[in-house]
Amino acid sequence: MRHTFTKAERLKSRKLIGAVFAGRQSVTAWPIRLVWLARPAEEGEASEAPVQVAFAVPRKHLRKAVDRNRVKRRLREAWRLHKHELYRAMARRGCRPLAVIVLYSAREVLPWQQIEPAMVRAMKRLVGAACRQNDDNRQ
Protein backbone atom coordinates (compact mmCIF):
# COMPACT_ATOMS: atom_id res chain seq x y z
CA MET A 1 0.00 0.00 0.00
CA ARG A 2 1.25 3.45 -0.87
CA HIS A 3 1.72 5.87 2.01
CA THR A 4 -0.43 8.66 0.61
CA PHE A 5 -3.24 10.79 1.97
CA THR A 6 -5.70 11.08 -0.90
CA LYS A 7 -8.57 13.48 -1.43
CA ALA A 8 -11.08 10.65 -0.92
CA GLU A 9 -9.64 10.05 2.56
CA ARG A 10 -10.21 13.63 3.71
CA LEU A 11 -13.35 14.33 5.71
CA LYS A 12 -14.76 17.60 4.35
CA SER A 13 -18.55 17.34 4.60
CA ARG A 14 -19.85 19.77 7.24
CA LYS A 15 -22.91 17.57 7.66
CA LEU A 16 -20.80 14.48 8.34
CA ILE A 17 -18.41 16.37 10.63
CA GLY A 18 -21.39 17.58 12.67
CA ALA A 19 -22.75 14.03 12.83
CA VAL A 20 -19.38 12.73 14.06
CA PHE A 21 -19.33 15.21 16.94
CA ALA A 22 -23.02 14.56 17.70
CA GLY A 23 -22.37 10.80 17.86
CA ARG A 24 -19.92 11.25 20.76
CA GLN A 25 -18.06 7.98 20.22
CA SER A 26 -14.38 8.36 20.95
CA VAL A 27 -11.16 6.64 21.92
CA THR A 28 -8.20 8.34 23.56
CA ALA A 29 -4.46 7.78 23.62
CA TRP A 30 -3.02 10.95 25.13
CA PRO A 31 -2.46 13.47 23.51
CA ILE A 32 -4.73 12.19 20.72
CA ARG A 33 -8.48 11.65 20.82
CA LEU A 34 -10.26 10.02 17.88
CA VAL A 35 -13.95 10.90 17.58
CA TRP A 36 -15.63 8.55 15.11
CA LEU A 37 -18.87 7.53 13.48
CA ALA A 38 -19.68 4.50 11.34
CA ARG A 39 -20.73 5.93 7.99
CA PRO A 40 -24.04 4.83 6.48
CA ALA A 41 -23.68 2.09 3.86
CA GLU A 42 -24.71 4.26 0.90
CA GLU A 43 -22.09 6.89 1.76
CA GLY A 44 -19.47 4.21 2.36
CA GLU A 45 -20.05 2.72 -1.08
CA ALA A 46 -19.72 6.09 -2.79
CA SER A 47 -16.28 6.68 -1.29
CA GLU A 48 -13.47 4.25 -2.01
CA ALA A 49 -11.71 5.11 1.28
CA PRO A 50 -12.55 2.90 4.28
CA VAL A 51 -11.89 5.85 6.61
CA GLN A 52 -12.39 9.56 6.01
CA VAL A 53 -10.42 11.69 8.46
CA ALA A 54 -10.11 15.33 9.55
CA PHE A 55 -7.63 16.87 11.98
CA ALA A 56 -8.29 19.53 14.62
CA VAL A 57 -6.05 21.37 17.06
CA PRO A 58 -7.97 23.73 19.37
CA ARG A 59 -6.94 27.36 19.47
CA LYS A 60 -7.74 27.27 23.17
CA HIS A 61 -4.74 24.95 23.73
CA LEU A 62 -2.26 26.32 21.18
CA ARG A 63 -2.68 30.04 20.58
CA LYS A 64 -0.19 30.43 17.72
CA ALA A 65 -1.29 29.32 14.26
CA VAL A 66 2.27 28.22 13.51
CA ASP A 67 2.11 25.75 16.40
CA ARG A 68 -1.34 24.47 15.44
CA ASN A 69 -0.24 23.94 11.85
CA ARG A 70 2.93 22.13 12.95
CA VAL A 71 0.91 19.77 15.14
CA LYS A 72 -1.64 19.13 12.36
CA ARG A 73 1.22 18.35 9.99
CA ARG A 74 2.63 15.83 12.48
CA LEU A 75 -0.80 14.27 13.03
CA ARG A 76 -1.36 13.90 9.27
CA GLU A 77 2.07 12.35 8.86
CA ALA A 78 1.49 9.84 11.67
CA TRP A 79 -1.90 8.94 10.16
CA ARG A 80 -0.46 8.61 6.66
CA LEU A 81 2.34 6.28 7.79
CA HIS A 82 0.17 3.97 9.90
CA LYS A 83 -3.24 3.98 8.20
CA HIS A 84 -2.49 0.77 6.31
CA GLU A 85 -2.42 -1.12 9.64
CA LEU A 86 -5.83 0.34 10.50
CA TYR A 87 -7.26 -0.54 7.08
CA ARG A 88 -5.92 -4.09 7.27
CA ALA A 89 -7.39 -4.65 10.76
CA MET A 90 -10.75 -3.21 9.67
CA ALA A 91 -10.85 -5.48 6.60
CA ARG A 92 -10.02 -8.55 8.70
CA ARG A 93 -12.82 -7.80 11.16
CA GLY A 94 -15.31 -6.60 8.54
CA CYS A 95 -15.84 -3.10 9.94
CA ARG A 96 -18.08 -0.55 8.24
CA PRO A 97 -16.50 2.59 6.73
CA LEU A 98 -15.74 5.26 9.33
CA ALA A 99 -15.63 9.03 9.58
CA VAL A 100 -12.94 10.08 12.07
CA ILE A 101 -11.84 13.39 13.55
CA VAL A 102 -8.39 13.43 15.16
CA LEU A 103 -8.24 15.89 18.06
CA TYR A 104 -5.02 17.02 19.72
CA SER A 105 -5.42 17.59 23.46
CA ALA A 106 -1.95 18.56 24.75
CA ARG A 107 -1.35 22.17 25.70
CA GLU A 108 2.10 22.33 24.10
CA VAL A 109 3.72 21.16 20.88
CA LEU A 110 4.96 17.65 21.52
CA PRO A 111 7.79 16.04 19.55
CA TRP A 112 7.17 13.52 16.80
CA GLN A 113 8.54 10.76 19.08
CA GLN A 114 5.48 11.19 21.33
CA ILE A 115 2.85 11.84 18.66
CA GLU A 116 3.58 8.82 16.45
CA PRO A 117 3.22 6.09 19.12
CA ALA A 118 0.10 7.80 20.47
CA MET A 119 -1.46 7.70 16.99
CA VAL A 120 -0.67 3.97 16.67
CA ARG A 121 -2.26 3.26 20.08
CA ALA A 122 -5.32 5.36 19.21
CA MET A 123 -5.78 3.55 15.88
CA LYS A 124 -5.65 0.15 17.60
CA ARG A 125 -8.26 1.29 20.11
CA LEU A 126 -10.38 2.66 17.28
CA VAL A 127 -10.45 -0.71 15.50
CA GLY A 128 -11.39 -2.44 18.75
CA ALA A 129 -14.20 -0.01 19.55
CA ALA A 130 -15.60 0.45 16.04
CA CYS A 131 -15.54 -3.22 15.10
CA ARG A 132 -16.96 -4.26 18.48
CA GLN A 133 -19.90 -1.92 17.94
CA ASN A 134 -20.25 -3.26 14.40
CA ASP A 135 -20.37 -6.84 15.77
CA ASP A 136 -23.02 -5.83 18.33
CA ASN A 137 -25.21 -4.32 15.60
CA ARG A 138 -25.08 -7.52 13.54
CA GLN A 139 -26.44 -9.70 16.36
* pLDDT score recorded for residue 13: 94
pLDDT per residue as tens, the chain (139 positions): 789 999 999 999 999 999 999 998 999 999 999 999 998 766 545 567 899 999 999 999 999 999 999 999 999 999 999 999 999 999 999 889 999 999 999 999 999 999 999 999 999 999 999 988 766 666 5
* pLDDT score recorded for residue 11: 96
* pLDDT score recorded for residue 42: 63
DSSP 9: G
Q: How far apart are CA 83 and CA 13, in angstroms?
A: 21
* pLDDT score recorded for residue 68: 98
Q: How far apart are CA 105 and CA 131, in angstroms?
A: 25
Q: What is the pTM of this model?
A: 0.91
Q: How far apart are CA 131 and CA 84, in angstroms?
A: 16
User: Which of 34, 12, 14, 27 is closest to 78 using CA atoms?
Assistant: 34
List, in sequence order, the alpha helices (H) in the chain.
14-23, 41-46, 65-93, 112-138
Question: What's the CATH architecture for 7-130?
Answer: 2-Layer Sandwich (3.30)
User: Which of 45, 128, 47 is closest to 86 using CA atoms?
Assistant: 128
* pLDDT score recorded for residue 132: 82
* pLDDT score recorded for residue 135: 64
* pLDDT score recorded for residue 44: 45
